[in-house]
Structure 1
Amino acid sequence: MKIKDSVVFVTGGNRGLGKALVNEALARGAAKVYATARDPKTVTTNPKVVPLHLELTDPASIEAAAAQAPDVNLLINNAGVTLAADLLDGDLAEIRREIEINFFGPLQVTQALSPRLVANGGHLVNIQSALSWYAAFGAYAASKAAGWSATNSLRQQLHPKGVGVTGVYAGWIDTDMAAERAAETDLKTDPADVARMVIDAVEAGQHEVLADDFTHTVKNALAADIPTLYPHLAAKA
């Protein structure tokens, strides 16, 4: 699909990659962008941007936001959280919260807006992570792995309805979420660069975006034995 004259819905559109996606969509000629945030006042002021309140753990909030976007034809599920709850010793409430926000939240947004995407000949983008394929940061990776599977399932369900689905996978992106990871500074990708890749992929109808070298490496290793990704698990002689 073409971004020019499209109507875009970006969750978490007030900062980081979400803000970059809003800006890139506008730069490509989108007619309107719905940008969601817990506090809509934090969304960039622009005549073509419609700030919406959205809380991913609140189904009523999701339905209310969706009701205000009847003309959307591109949904970008970007909002998420990194709590890195430990799976072995972590608090179950925190583990559930991480999965609720990163998996069930985007899924409910998709359910709420998919009829609009079908009616308007649209496209779905799920912002995932290289940790969809690499186990680190506990519940965060588990939530993203679930999101990868859901993205593949949704692609199969929406394809016959004329809706394309793009999954976006990246390692470190230079956003507030990764601000404390000073050791990975040289590995961080500019969110504006990722946003360009995403919009390019939508226009090209690509199934996936692999945004950096780390993500390519991880995906290429999936067919190998476990120690390829986790060398410390190799059997000792």
Structure 2
Amino acid sequence: MDATHLVDGQSAVIVVGGTLLGTVLRCGWRDSWTALRAVAALLRPAFNADAMRAELAHEVALIRRDGVIRANPRRLADREFDSATTALVRTRSLDGLVEQHEAWRRARLRRATAAARTLAQAADLSPVFGLAGTLVALSQLKVESLAHGNFIGAIAMSVLTTLYGLLLAHIVMGPLGRAVERASQGEEEARAEVMAWLTRQVGPACPDRHRATPLAPHEPAMAPSPEPREAV
């Protein structure tokens, strides 16, 4: 098999360009940018619960020794836990800690859901633009071309656009959407585990009237993205 026969720039422009344009028009710039950032985040190291606990251990020791009123936490590398521990000291209660965690969790889930939904839309649109490319290629056929046998190029383009649409949907966009969902779920579980540990550690240092129920690890309720549809 000659792999060079599977490369056609015009077919790729129709399918990829049409899919990206259609996705932006359907989902908007904000969700499209969110999806792009979520895909780029897959290349970065995942949230490390053990490293976060180790970084928080120093703050926990100070709070348990001096109390939450006199504690002066240092700045943490993770923005969520930095704001959560700051809220803990400011409000002198676990309620502030938990509220900050929940606010960050809701924001992350909104972004992850928007990204997965946008990638699912792209997976749905890819076979459609593959079919559109096939129709464009067939529309270039004329009676004179058929008479002289000059129709091989148009037939090849029609086949390749269909192929590109299916590959883009099932090899690129669909798997990326699932990867974003899995990464989001894994991060939420890890963060919930660290937060549950943190509330147990600093709970005794908080006044009784402000104590909240320690958090338990939870799984984010993010609706799964639909499977890409086959072109008819």
Normalised TM-score (structure 2): 0.28
Which has the larger Rg? 2
Which structure features the higher share of helix residues? 2
Relative contact order, CA 8 A, sep 6+: which one is greater? Answer: 2
Normalised TM-score (structure 1): 0.27
